[in-house]
Structure 1
């Protein structure tokens, strides 16, 4: 059933046709079509955190389009009209009216715990109630406003044995390049010394050979004279 009207209010029942015979059921359903309220809200209960914001959307019928729109508190009957109103504390109320959609939005910022209670949207002489609940936000490490305690790392304790061992390692590391250079120098020196010994041996051998040849020549000459 679509597009219900006030005239659709009444009793209804189901019937079944079997082989051309209508069988009526005795159970009936009574339908009541009510007129749309002149002022209504999306939700009659809203909640927010302390210091946060909350928004309430109120609707009104076409007959109240040019009526005064307000957001009021039952406790002290304090009302806020379209626009922005700063309270004596940190919270504020802002009401914006959308005539085309026939609705106005109430935005409360900087909520306080004392803001909890019953409010109502009104347009002209029509109103509808809304309950507001303000709670304390949960403390979380993800909240950037909550200070996070940082534990400083404990200083490392170095024992005498470890210090001496590390000192030896550091000394060994620092002298490694010099040792390598020394080893390389010694290897080059030994190689050069080896070459020098070979040349000396060759020269001595040549000298001996020359001495032997000269001795043989001198000995032959002497034998020839005799």
Structure 2
């Protein structure tokens, strides 16, 4: 019987080794798997390469992972944004490497990894510092830059619901990078809000099929949500 539900986030992340490349979903707070990030900090893996939309805000989530000294290199679109003081301090001190990847390129490079595409040409970043050292080509009078897939060892993502086979549905913008990260990863760990019975999910609504998911973690309700449930009861 296929059952991908793990007893805890710690159990799901236990085998992540030092030096792994990890993609973490989320756009700001939307779709950010905070429970999995916290478990990764507790797990202790170091010298990580992080692939994400941003470099964290405040002192929680991705910022906490960086502050713990676990990340050696980061690929992201927005390294500096409101509250990104942890990343800025590390970067200025030379304690973290940065590769800036335009957001569309980030999504497409992850998708390419999942689809088995060897490389692709894009006009994004042509003529800028981000294109230095990269192959370029002119096609039908337009200039392009050659980009390669981003293959990752692990993807940590958040979904609204899933079944024990690993089929996932997402909530609105919380979907963001989750599906393409799941495709690009050798091992995908998904934090879900709700565990559904097999057949309960509308097949037309399933964005990430279970074939791309290795482990499920049932997310504990937040204190606010738990309080609301208690009041309702």
The alignment's TM-score, normalised by the length of structure 1, stands at 0.20
Answer with 1 or 2: which has the greater Rg: 1
Q: Counting strand residues as a fraction of each chain, which structure ranks higher? A: 1
TM-score normalized by the length of structure 2:
0.19
Which has the bigger relative contact order, CA under 8 A and spacing at least 6?
A: 2
